[in-house]
Each structure stands twice: as C-alpha cells, then as structure tokens.
Amino acid sequence: MVPASIARLPGIDQVMAMAARWRAMPGRPSLLAMTAGAAALSAVANAVAVAAPAAEPAPATRLGVSIQQSVRERDQALADQKRGLELREQAARATEERLKADLLARQSEAGRPGAGGNGAKAVEPDEPYDDLARIYQTMKPAKAAVIFERLDMEVQTEVAKRMRERSTALIVSNMSPNAAVQLSMALAGKRPARPEARADAVAPKPKDTAKPAAPARPGDRATR
C-alpha cells in the first residue's frame, strides 16, 4: 500500500512500474536493476522530504500570534507618531508664516505718512483711559466725583467719553457745580470758560490809613 502523499509525487508511476517488473523477473535480479531501483527509491524519499514541510506548514502558537500582534501595533503606533509630528510641523510652519505676514503688515502700516513712525502701537495711549474708565465705573459716584474733578481736564474728558452714560451722569451729579460745568463744556467740544473771580477776592478791602485827630489840650484853648 503506497501512502497518499507519495502517490501524488511526479514520476511515481514509472518507479512503481519498474519495481513491479523487478519483482516479476525470474531468478536473481541483476546488479544494474537493483542499483536503478535503489536510486529511484532514494529520489522518491528525497522528494517526500522536500515536499512534506511545504505541504503542511506548522501551526502558529499563541506566543507567535501575540508577537505578530505586538509588532503590528508597534508599527501602527510609529506610523501615527510620525503622522502627528508631520502635522505639528505643518502647523508650526503655518503659524510662522502668519506671524511674518502680520509683522510685515505692521511695518508697512508704520511706514505710511501720518502713522507717527509706530503704527503698531498707535492705539496704546488709549489703554490707560480705558482702564481708568473701568475703575471709576466700579467706584461709588460720591467718592469717584471727589477724585475725578481734581484730574486734568483732558484726562476727565477722555475718561468720561469711555464710561457708560449712567456712570458719567452719576459722577457729574456728585461733582461741585463749577467742576461739573467745566467737564460738561469739555464734553460738548467747547473750551471751558474760566470762572470769574469774585469781587471780594479780586479787590481787597482798602485799609484805613488816616490817623485819628489828636485830642485838644486845655492849654491850647486858653491861648486862643
């Protein structure tokens, strides 16, 4: 009985036919026939040895499957990391280009006539007024008015323009009448008028420099 794996090999039919003829030969076989049969059997054995591993691969073990899975996961993680680095590099380049464009725009704006040579910082002087406006809006109107009317008129005007109307009205209502008038004129775009000095403050009272008359002596009356 020939195994099925050997029966499928090429040339096995010729070898089997040769073996059958050798068995049917009467008497003692010749040395040449025996050598040919041995060579044929050796070739068949070698063919079986070579074909057996390819036909039946060894089944994968759990350890092998785990190793293969770990390798695939590592390769995927490396690919994701590389992709993330590329995206961050692209974002950094885009940010750098945007900053360069912004800087060039500011420089060109600063170089225009009337920009004062520093167009990028043209709005910075308004920032202190904005801060003061927020501060006075959070204060109580009575306390804010006492401090507010002592400020320079230009500062009062700029700060009042940046406050809410209600806050400005409350502060003005708590200011002295003269200070309220001055600020109102400035907010209206008019030059604040100087308050007229009071007459008693401008012209001091004249002092009486005349000496009192000396009393008459009794001897003077007698001589007259």
- pLDDT single digits (tens) 84-108: 889 888 888 888 788 788 888 888 8
Asked if residue 115 and residue 131 are part of one domain, the reply reads: no
Spatial separation of the C-alpha atoms in residues 44 and 14, rounded to whole Å: 11
Per residue in 177-186, pLDDT tens? 999 999 999 8
pTM of the model: 0.34
Burial tier of 182 (Cβ tally within 10 Å: 0-12, 13-18, 19+): buried
Q: Which string of DSSP letters, residue by residue, matches 101-120?
A: HHHHHHHHHHTSTTSTT-GG
pLDDT at 30: 61
Domain enclosing residue 132, as ranges: 126-193
**pLDDT bucket at 211, cuts 50 / 70 / 90:** low
Number of structural domains the chain divides into: 3
- Whether 31 maps to a domain, the answer reads no
Return the C-alpha torsion angle 90, 92, 96, 102, nearest 10. 90
In a domain, 2, yes or no: yes
Tokens of 128: 């202190």
| Mean of per-residue pLDDT scores for the chain | 73
In a domain, 130, yes or no: yes
* 88 lies in the same domain as 45: no
Is 117 in the same domain as 130? no
Judged against a pLDDT cut of 80, whether residue 195 lies above it is answered with no
